[in-house]
Amino acid sequence: MNRLKDKVAIITGGGAGIGQATAFLFAEEGANVVIGDIDQSGGEATAAGINAAGGKAIFVYADISKESDAQKLTDEAVRFFGRVDILVNNAAAFVLKGLEATVEDWQRSLGVNVIGTALVSRFASEAMKKTGGGSIVNLGSMSSFIAQPHFVSYSATKAAIIQMTKNMAMDLAPFGIRVNAVCPGTIITQASEKHCAQAGITMDEFKATEGAKHLLNRPGVPREVACPILFLASDEASFITGTHLMVDGGYTAQ
């Protein structure tokens, strides 16, 4: 299928994990993809993989907590592909701390997850208005809704994403721009591997422990989040805005 044929999509944090899986899937569905990330090697590899497979993608180095970098993503999308139709706000800083979080920890978490999301959305939505509309998909989390030990600095930002999604949907609806959120449960990514190394546990142990917390008794994989993102970004979701979709294996149903 070509559900995104000739659409132009910006994906932040597209160099690895859910962002990378989404970039590949969007390209398979016909989109021209702009990958933004601070991980230059990962971002360039993702773009190269898409282009090698016959798709069209560019990588733009961007720290979205900086206004100039946030704007650069839209500027480059328009320069290379002429427009912006879709934005996936996937980039995130994983600052997993409780009240011991320092001011610097909070600034990093808020700077990327909240302010960065707002900045990229501002510039991308201005481009969307010029072409009659578009779709924004924000990445929330099950952490937007539940309490977890030593997660204050992360969960607060993911809760903010849900409210931002609703407000953005209201403000942008008159311009034909839909805004929704996807909220993943535990997903096996490169970040999971780093966590295992820091915690001194094997990946099998991590999967068993985390999987047991989900009704489906396993963690998810990035493609299982990319597919719901694709749905919300596509015209198949043309009457959906201002809502969130749980992609958490039943974690929050308990």
Residue whose structure tokens are 């998810």: 220
- pTM equals 0.96
Of the candidates 59, 81, 123, 154, the residue annotated as catalytic is: 154
Q: Mean pLDDT across the chain, nearest whole number?
A: 96
Q: Is 154 a catalytic residue?
A: yes
- Tell me the CATH number of domain 8-185+220-246, given options 2.60.120.10, 3.40.50.920, 3.30.830.10, 3.40.50.720: 3.40.50.720
Would the pLDDT of 138 be above 90? yes
Structure tokens at 203: 């990946």
Q: Which long-range contacts (CB under 8 A, 24 or more apart) does 166-171 make?
A: 166/242, 168/121, 168/125, 168/136, 168/138, 169/241, 169/242, 169/243, 170/242
Angle between helices 17-28 and 40-52 (to 10 degrees): 20
40-86 tens-digit pLDDT: 999 999 999 999 999 999 999 999 999 999 999 999 999 999 999 99
On whether the CB atoms of residues 62 and 69 are closer than 8 A, the answer is yes
Domain boundaries, the chain: 8-185+220-246
H/E stretch holding 10 = strand 8-12
